[in-house]
């Protein structure tokens, strides 16, 4: 019985952990693309706001919201 509970707990935690780890890699991709970007100033401001929002959401535990904001920034950057 204890083994089944432990297995169920491990399986329920793993996807959340894997999902949470994608946020830093998306932030790193954005950070790497920013210096070479030729976006208009308004778009660059939007990307930086989304990047900051994504980091804040990640830190607060909202990984779905973080990934959504970060992916929107990636889309604007064209990466």
Mean pLDDT, rounded, for 10-39: 78
pLDDT of residue 18: 47
Which residues 6+ apart lie within 8 Å of 22 measured at CB?
Answer: 63, 67
Rounded (5°) CA angle 30-48-20 = 55
- SS3 percent helix, strand, coil of the chain, rounded to 5, is 85, 0, 15
Question: For the segment 31-79, what is each residue's pLDDT rounded down to a tens digit?
Answer: 999 999 999 999 999 999 999 999 999 999 999 999 999 999 999 999 9
**pLDDT band for position 6 (50/70/90)?**
low
Note the residue count of the chain: 79
Maximum distance among all Cα pairs of the chain, rounded to whole angstroms: 60
Judge if pTM exceeds 0.85: no
């Amino acid at each position: 019985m204890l083994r089944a509970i432990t297995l169920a707990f491990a399986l329920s935690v793993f996807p959340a952990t894997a999902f949470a780890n994608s946020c830093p890699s998306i932030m790193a991709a954005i950070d790497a693309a920013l210096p070479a970007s030729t976006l208009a100033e308004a778009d660059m401001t939007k990307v930086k706001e989304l990047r900051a929002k994504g980091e804040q959401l990640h830190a607060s535990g909202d990984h779905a919201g973080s990934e959504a904001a970060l992916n929107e920034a990636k889309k604007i950057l064209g990466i």
